[in-house]
Structure 1
């Protein structure tokens, strides 16, 4: 497949790097340094030029492109890129936007702006934050099969109840599959006797109830239903959308915004949120407003440095769990190393959402884990799949190492996979796969 990616920033470069091994990728950017970096670091054709220009798109081969992904930092530019591509041919177009207004307009008219699919970075980031907040101790959360199946990644700190246990001892929940252990950046496919060590990351797949039960066994932190106090620091679009989604979950958060006009605006739009006008990096404010009694603090300010400061202040005064928005991807590990519980990078979650459209027709969803060391795929079983009509135990020996079948849904119902389970055509299968074998898995299943 020929894919044109316009914009070689963090989102575009992540997409291009992920697709380069399997697709013919062309990257377009106006920045000569970015173009040079892409040329020498990835197996792609990088072109310096304006992606809104027909001349540049034609140089990139838009007439032969199967897909055009517009991922610059300008919403308007991305929309124009998609519209321009449609004037030449009919590639599948994806636009990344930040403003939800554009998303709402696009949703009301299929194919509006010449865009086949639109990803709203701020909204998708807020959805990710609320999903992670709903599972105590989770570092990453994704849903599959229309929300029937959950995948979650959990850290195992020193002193965790499961540190030192085997997988069999830790697996006390119905409808739960231990898909992988990530240890020192390597993927370990666990057996029943595999020991779980401190500092491991554990990936589990199953029903929401079983995954939440497992989360509760790791840490006694409250679920969203039990949370007495949630504080959101920053009333920008991500903070606002996060508060709105918390309200939809029946939570009445507090939101802290320094700017008077913005604070008033979000207060009018969020009926169940208490908006406080203050500087949230002021520890005296934190103490005065009893933020230490909060169960969760979400830092969604306009800079990584402010989000780090707000999160560390919250941890210092005793907040159990902090989630911080991190715009610069290289800071994610740093944030978590110095004490922030979960760092969420909007560009990474956006890239993941876009990448799933590059998979084959029967791949319904994809989640990327741990700096692209593994993926979780949702695959609809067709007649050509190795699973169709067969027992799992008969198929697994022919699959490469590094693959775990985590869950099956049939007619919207969850089936916990066992060796004797027969997979039927039309089933949705959620599969964990080491990145090294992802192509073989995609071919087989």
Structure 2
């Protein structure tokens, strides 16, 4: 696939790295030559220096025969104009834009074919907020990722001494929780993947990925670790886009405090967040943290634009007694270094965001993609189409399907409404779709489970290099016998 990426910042660079490793034809455009040089030194791709929305630059980048444009610059307006030009001048089939301004997102008609011709608008800050919100909802989890519009969740937890399943075989899980079904998709032990079997023994410190119906998450987590107390008191370091969004979501149900050093930002936050305590000061001010009872905080979220500040603030908060700390860290090397540092969860914004883009780049009927383990693994939701004559999966038991190495099927959701029915619905139609979604059946995969047409299949791919083979497995082939 020929893809033009506009913008070589954190998001653009991470996307370029992921896509270039999959044998795509990638061109990256940016105004800053040094950014492009760094990419070219380590990746097989083309670069063009210039304005992302200038027609001549777009021609140099190969827009005339590109399959997709990813407009990921830091300017919403540049991204919108680029998508409009890609549609009107080059008839580019797929156009994706990064949009940060809420006003644009609240008026989806802006993205229609009659206006800026954006097929999909991605808001990294909104994605990050939802991601952190899930971690606060399930405080013992390292990751909580939704599939099938929220029917199924993939959860990563660290197995801790005291959990009923520690030191026991996985097949005993059903005996401990007989009234619910779950599947362990993968285990990472000392950063090495283990494809789980019934005889696999869970050890203390294992990072366990399990798939379950979203309503069963807490019960399964309780088998792997002592359940953490629910979160009530939240302190947020940084009142920028992400900190502000998170406070908006949490302030009705939690006690929320924001520390922000810019007095003008504080004034704006005070006017808009009526149930949040706004504190003017430095997030690494030890006296301020102590005076605001940091030791009583259930969770401390370091969400400033300065990753070094986030690291220092999170480490200080943990040392001073905060029960759990989360830090936003852009550089993947820093994320790796934070393991066992005292920071409970280090989040790479680009890695969290990339899954939303990959679902549009993947071949076949890919509905959802989540990037895992800093891009080394993926979890995918694919829709099974065709019949026994044209599909390698429909009508077959899971044990009969030749899955690529290091790949497991975790769950199937049956009876979901088609993915293209959600736009421009009347209130009555929305009620009908919601009823259909509620009735959809969650089936945890076992060896004798048969995949049916239109099933949503959730897979865990330990080795990202196997993703293309997974996609091909689900593609409909009229010549397949």
Shared fold (TM-score, shorter chain, > 0.5): yes
Q: Is the 8 A contact 2:235 2:257 kept in 1?
A: yes
Q: 1: distance between equivalents of 2:109 and 2:352?
A: 20
Query: Which region of structure 1 is more displaced relative to structure 2, 374-383 or 206-215?
Result: 206-215
Correspondence for 2:194: 188
Distance in 2, Cα, partners of 1:307 & 1:162: 35
Contact 1:159/1:198 (<8 A) preserved? no
Corresponding pairs, count: 440
CA contact (8 A) 2:163 2:226 kept: no
Q: Which moved more, 1:354-363 or 1:384-393?
A: 384-393
Q: Tell me by how many angstroms 1:170 deviates.
A: 5.0
Whole-angstrom distance in 2 between the partners of 1:100 and 1:346: 18
Deviations 1:402-444 (CA, angstroms, capped at 9, x unpaired): 1111111112221122222222101111111131321111111
Question: Is the contact between residue 13 and residue 38 of structure 1 (CA under 8 Å) also seen in structure 2?
Answer: yes
Given that residues 137 and 231 in structure 2 are in contact (C-alpha distance below 8 angstroms), is that contact kept between their aligned partners in structure 1? no
How has the CA–CA distance of structure 1 residues 234 and 217 changed in structure 2, closer, same or farther, with 3 Å as cutoff? farther
SS of the residue 1:113 aligns to: coil
Q: Match for 1:239 among 210, 226, 243?
A: 243
* Separation in structure 1 between the aligned mates of residue 339 and residue 395 of structure 2, nearest angstrom: 44
Partner of 2:412: 408
What pairs with 1:8-407 in structure 2 (closer than 5 Å)? 8-20=8-20, 21-91=22-92, 92-106=94-108, 110-111=112-113, 112-156=115-159, 162-169=165-172, 172-173=176-177, 174-222=180-228, 226-247=230-251, 250-383=253-386, 384-395=390-401, 398-407=402-411
By relative contact order (CA 8 Å, sep 6+), the higher-ranking structure is 1
- Separation in structure 1 between the aligned mates of residue 341 and residue 170 of structure 2, nearest angstrom: 29
Distance 1:268 1:246, change over 3 A: same
**In structure 1, what is the Cα distance between the partners aligned to 2:391 and 2:255?**
46
Give the TM-score normalised by structure 1: 0.91
TM-score by length of 2: 0.85
Mapped partners of 1:195, 1:39: distance in 2: 44
Q: CA deviation at 1:306?
A: 1.8
- Unpaired runs of 5+ residues, structure 1, are none
Cα deviation for residue 177 of structure 1 reads 0.9
Specify the SS of the correspondent of 2:408: strand
309-318 or 71-80, larger mean C-alpha shift:
71-80
Question: Retained in 2: the 8 A contact 1:125–1:344?
Answer: no
C-alpha distance in structure 2 between counterparts of 1:318 and 1:217, whole Å:
27
Q: 1:437 corresponds to which residue?
A: 466
- Measure, in 2, the Cα distance between the counterparts of 1:392 and 1:303: 47
Cα-to-partner distance string for 1:356-415 (whole Å, 9 max, x where unaligned):
2101341100011112221111011101432212222222xx222211111111122211
Q: Are 1:99 and 1:122, in contact at CA under 8 Å, matched by a contact in 2?
A: no
Contact 2:326/2:346 (<8 A) preserved: yes
The whole-number CA distance in structure 2 between the counterparts of 1:31 and 1:425 is: 48
Question: Secondary structure of 2:126's match?
Answer: helix
Q: 1:109 to 1:51 in 2, by over 3 A?
A: closer
- 1:122 Cα deviation after fit: 1.5
Residue deviations 1:268-319 (CA, integer Å, cap 9, x gap): 3223323333433222222222221121111112311221222112211222
Deviates more, 1:374-383 or 1:90-99: 90-99
Q: Over residues 54-83 of structure 1, what are the superposed CA-to-partner deviations in whole Å (9 max), with x where a residue is unaligned?
A: 111112221211110012233333223222
SS of 1:187 mapped into structure 2: strand
**Residues 221 and 320 of structure 1 are in contact (CA less than 8 Å); yes or no, is this contact kept in structure 2?**
no
When structure 1 is superposed on structure 2, of 314-323 and 182-191 the one drifting more is: 182-191
